[in-house]
Structure 1
């Protein structure tokens, strides 16, 4: 019988993809064949085996706009299920499902990709964020546990230096708090979540947004703040419920999309704000996303800077969405300050991956991989000056789990 966590993952589209591409990897513990300085782009390619299990290959490339990106004969190999995030010059692979480890991937002095550290937890981490140049903070928030655990981690060795835990009952008396986002601003940590039944995955509570507030660095529980202008923050596996701008203001995204795991919708989707230095939602700020998009909601959000964020927006209203489909989606730039949405010209309507948005922001460009109707994946480079996209290299993978530059 499948575990609860695995059953939930199988509900998402990434595990129903087509045939895999067969190849071998020459992964070692400390190197890949090509120097990273000559191949600065790093892409984590996910490949499905004949039994439906996935293997991830993190591979450096010189160019991502021409030819084909393939892991044939190269790449750091990780079988299982992994989520990838970059913090400074290190890529962290966060194990999920039956994998409960975190491994760093960085560039060695010889210019080669190498693994650094390997730390395991009782449950897989929900996320990993930066505290400072030497410190990370990991979170355990699992339906299988009645505690919330914060792990302080040395960014250089990927080893836990301290752990702080609190009862889940601090933030909810209901079963199934599911992670949506985590950010530190000033002397507080903000943790967003929504309620999802651990057996049925139904979402019975959708009448308000909730964010738990803790002190930082003490990590003492303070309170839960709530706002009924919109519904719960975040969605299943998107990990983008909270983003932070340069001023320290935190923006909280709500959508209650069936496509991202919600069994009901009782509030319009929108974006709330917690001003820097405050521990309450700003009563004077509400970005009514549905009013701007004609009833559509933002599913994924990645902050770019100066109040702008990359967004994946559902092409259909909630009532017309297919459950767990993570799509169909349109790519856009959202201006959080002026409350506008600008769609990107040149990217076709597409499906999502049911997981963290994989995109690289480099100067005036954003790179992301888009699945097309022919079941092929292509890099698209978005020009942030013109809000247009150019099609690039084909990607030989079932999907891309991470897109980085070292």
Structure 2
């Protein structure tokens, strides 16, 4: 081999090695878990990817991650375990449990369950609820999935037609542990015919209070200053450091369960229950629509020191299931709101993840921003300056959830 051929061969080999290295999917082991739905023509399962930081780096679904079983998955962490909940769409659900070992997710349990519409950590359990939407069969079932034994330890039922006493079903938007009780905000639905999620009672908020673990109904808290709390599959309650509980209403009640028949006369608002009280604080009402210039809250994440990162929509984009892409900071103590700067233009944002993360340090919240270009990034939101910084790049799919495990 002459010298020129040797140099050419050497460069060719180096180029092949370089191409292989460039094409190799990045690996980013760490304590953060990001759920990503790969881009596909038909429904596909999520991949769970780990990352060492949300502020920098790149993660990818290409030859990486833990593929989930089933198309629709939702996530919660408790007792240093990640619980992946399968929504079976009429079929049985599942609870798959992971822990973290040296930056890798390790599956430790997989239990077949009912498909549930609400779940939350309560004591050492994940409380699950399969909620009736049929007025002729108003039985809502609850299950206590123990995070130590990794099985259902106790279960029972609730007659959700009896909660309202108005001929409509109570449908829990979510559940939350407050003190040693379970608070279950709900909306009223007809549960029949073509208007299953419609209501004739759009201008009231309810919270059912249960003992735990007995799940005995102790009280129903009512307020007629707003429409119902939260949204379908969306947590609208948050307990702050001082024990006060805040609740948001999206103002999306409707006569027939669709955006064309909105029938609430109340604005999207925030209300409060003072620490240790089981009545709404009548001295506190935050009209979010007036404060924000006509927006309605679709979701929020608490960051600490009375501040929330709030996702919202314009009146034109408001819908029963439409998630917001306008990001702002809401201080529920000072009743102030400020839009976040530094994010992509609204026209460039396809969606924002609904399950987001904060260390609740009073400084930062992290949200997944999916762009119309197909790219996705985790953005750090500085709640004290209402600014954002682009962080971890997510390649190969849509960001749906951000979790953290020790």
Please name the residue that 1:179 is paired with.
172
Secondary structure, counterpart of 1:54 in structure 2: coil
How far the C-alpha of 1:175 sits from its partner, in A, is 4.8
The answer as to 2:95 corresponding to 1:102 is yes
Listed one character per residue, the Cα deviations across residues 52-72 of structure 1 (whole Å, up to 9, x for unaligned) are 222111111234444542111
CA distances 1:266-298 after superposition (whole Å, capped 9, x unpaired): 211111122232222121111111121122111
What is the alpha-carbon distance in structure 1 between the residues aligned to residue 384 and residue 282 of structure 2?
Answer: 32
C-alpha offsets along residues 302-340 of structure 1, whole Å, 9 cap, x if unaligned?
A: 1222222121021x12xx226456255211121122211
Farther off after superposition, 183-192 or 293-302: 183-192
- Structure 2 Cα separation of the partners of residues 340 and 261 of structure 1: 31
Distance 1:286 1:209 in 2: 13
Find 2:182's aligned residue among 189, 199, 205.
Answer: 189
Deviation at 1:177, TM superposition (A): 3.9
**Structure 2 runs not aligned, ≥5 long:** 1-25
The alignment status of 1:251 with 2:242, answered yes or no, reads no
Cα drift, residue 94 of structure 1: 1.2
Q: What do residues 118-174 of structure 1 show as CA deviations (whole Å, max 9, x unaligned)?
A: 23333x122322223x33322222326522223222113321111132211232354
Runs of 4 or more above 6 Å deviation: none
Query: The residue matched to 1:72 in structure 2 has which SS?
Result: coil
2:44 equivalent to 1:54: yes
> Does the 8 Å CA contact 2:329/2:339 hold for their aligned counterparts?
yes
Partner residue in 2 for 1:6: none
How much is the aligned-residue C-alpha RMSD, in angstroms? 2.7
> Which sections of structure 1, spanning at least 5 residues, go unmatched?
1-32
Which protein is bigger by CA-based radius of gyration?
A: 2
Task: Tell me the SS of whatever aligns to 1:149.
Answer: strand
More helix by share: 2
Q: Across the two proteins, how many residue pairs are aligned to each other?
A: 362
- The question of whether the paired residues in 2 share the 8 Å contact of 1:184 and 1:216 is answered with no
With the length of structure 1 as denominator, give the TM-score of the two structures: 0.80
Matched, 1:271 2:261: no
- Output the CA distance in 2 between the equivalents of 1:310 and 1:277: 25
Q: 2:235 aligns with which of 232, 235, 240?
A: 240
Q: Distance in 2 between matches of 1:243 and 1:63?
A: 26
CA contact (8 A) 2:161 2:169 kept: no
Q: Taking structure 1 as reference, are residues 352 and 212 closer, same or farther at Cα in structure 2, changes over 3 Å only?
A: farther
CA distance in structure 1 between the partners assigned to 2:122 and 2:330 by the alignment: 26
Please tell me whether the aligned partners of residues 245 and 305 of structure 1 are also in contact (alpha carbons under 8 angstroms). Answer: yes
Please point out which of 127, 149, 157 is paired with 2:141.
Answer: 149
